[in-house]
Amino acid sequence: MSQAAGVNFKKSTIDALIAGFLALILFGPIVGVLLDGYQFNFETDRVAWMVAIVAIGRFAISSFFQTEKGIAMSFRYANSNDGATVLAPGHKSKMVWIIPLVIVIGLLIPFIASKYVLTVVILGLIYVLLGLGLNIVVGLAGLLDLGFVGFYAIGAYGLALGYENLGLGFWSMLPIAAILAAVAGAILGFPVLRMHGDYLAIVTLGFGEIIRLVLTNWASFTHGPNGISAPLPTLFGLEFKRRSRDGETFHEFFNLPYDSAYKYMFIYLVLFAVVWAVLFIKHRLVKMPIGRAWEALREDEIACRSLGLNHVLVKLSAFMLGASTGGLAGVFFATYQGFINPSSFTFFESALILAIVVLGGMGSTLGVVIAAFFLTVLPEMLREFAEYRVLMFGILMVVMMIWKPRGIVRVTRTGFAPKQGAVK
């Protein structure tokens, strides 16, 4: 820190030369040699540009990290491996400004974006819900759940089967599916709560597979691998179809030309509202006694029991709340796809949701939201590399584990202002 005042330009120049030389080796053959039929041409100017950019960039970075600001920054990141940080009491989060901005942008998206972009964003939001649900179970309560997709499937099939057998639409199934998934979470949870870590992971993995196999093989009820269609949401009884069997449709009522994008807009807006509601509830939960109990359970179960916390109920509540969020996501998935079959609910989905939670940072809400979008939107943008998706996924995980083992966003804890103590 003592030599922070001056920048050693000699060192920066050497760094820049080394980086430039490496860039030359790397880009020389790749960019510089251009095949033209059976012969090849050397394109030196392109290589020169690239090497120059790399060298200048390296010079800038090297100089920056010798300034006081740079040293402070690298120091901060070097220490980023330790866990949570406690915020100062009365800390004002920058989120106060970001959240309204995101809400405004989010509300504008359906009217600006194309139908394709909208569907991608809907998928992203569905995974945000899933990530938030699993984050309660894995991130907060520390229960490794590899069968989370089971609850997702229960939500999705709840909507489709509820419509087919009982005539229940989207709006009535939305809460019912959440409750159904929560009940399934309790049924799964109760017998396995005495297990820890790896054993719990295996049992939950089995649970996810059981759900999928039941959906595949109970053909008389679920239509098996043929799948089943799911209803669209309605706006006060107005349907989003081209023409309706009973009553008016949305575009007829508002005298608009029919556009299939309307239904996605509507789903998006409902989903957007639900995601914010879940985010809010999640935000409150971590500050509430139940959230503290979950985290305490993750830290040390035996200590929890010694403090009078009923570990069975604490774990069950985490399982149920997480599962109900998964169920909500399932309802949206079904209505957005319009058709579901068991192949949407494979183990790969569970792994993806778990990856969202791990990448985002266990227990961090913001991290999960970012990671959910990252992992769902990125594969859409990289359609050309679709075959290498899982490979890139794996590489990403390895890189993350080396670079930021605690996830993208570090968990922060609320600080409490000291006050006068009192016994009551």
Partner 1 sequence: MSSENVLTVENLVMHFGGIKALNDVNFAIKRGSVSALIGPNGAGKTTVFNCLTGFYKATGGNILLSAGGKDTSVIKVLGEPFQATDFFSPVAFVRRLKYKMFGGSHLVNRAGLSRTFQNIRLFKEMSVVENLLVAQHMRVNRSLMAGILNTKSYQKAEEEALERVFYWLGVVDLVDSANRLAGELSYGQQRRLEIARAMRTNPEIVCLDEPAAGLNPSETEALTKMIRVLRDEHNTTVLLIEHDMGMVMDISDYIVVLDHGEVIAKGGPDDIKNNPKVIAAYLGAEEDDEEVSL
Q: Can you give the binding site for partner 1, defined by CB under 8 A?
A: 83-84, 86, 88-89, 280-281, 284-285, 287-290, 292-293, 295-296, 299-300, 302-313, 411, 413-416, 418-424
Least distance between partner 1 and beta carbon 55 (Å): 43
Residue closest to 338 by CA, chosen among 174, 162, 160, 210: 160
What is the distance between the alpha carbons of residues 8 and 10, in angstroms, rounded to a whole number? 6
Least distance between partner 1 and beta carbon 215 (Å): 30
Separation in Å, CA 74 to CA 66, 71, 218 = 10, 5, 57
Least distance between partner 1 and beta carbon 321 (Å): 9
> 423: exposed, middle or buried (C-beta count within 10 Å: 0-12, 13-18, 19+)?
exposed
What count of residues does the chain have? 424
The whole-angstrom distance between residue 97's C-alpha and the CA centroid of its chain comes to 22
Which residues are CB-neighbours of 202 under 8 A, at least 6 positions away? Answer: 146
Q: Which is nearer to partner 1, 199 or 280 (CB)?
A: 280
Separation in Å, CA 282 to CA 209, 239, 276, 277, 326 = 28, 32, 10, 8, 14
Least distance between partner 1 and beta carbon 183 (Å): 17
Least distance between partner 1 and beta carbon 414 (Å): 8
Q: Which is nearer to partner 1, 140 or 366 (CB)?
A: 140
Least distance between partner 1 and beta carbon 132 (Å): 15
Q: Which is nearer to partner 1, 245 or 419 (CB)?
A: 419
β-sheet bridge partners, residue 34: 41
CB 356, CB 364: distance < 8 Å: no
Which residues are CB-neighbours of 123 under 8 A, at least 6 positions away? Answer: 336, 376, 380
The whole-angstrom distance between residue 229's C-alpha and the CA centroid of its chain comes to 26
Least distance between partner 1 and beta carbon 71 (Å): 24
Q: Determine the 3-state secondary structure of 146 from DSSP.
A: coil
Q: Which is nearer to partner 1, 107 or 288 (CB)?
A: 288
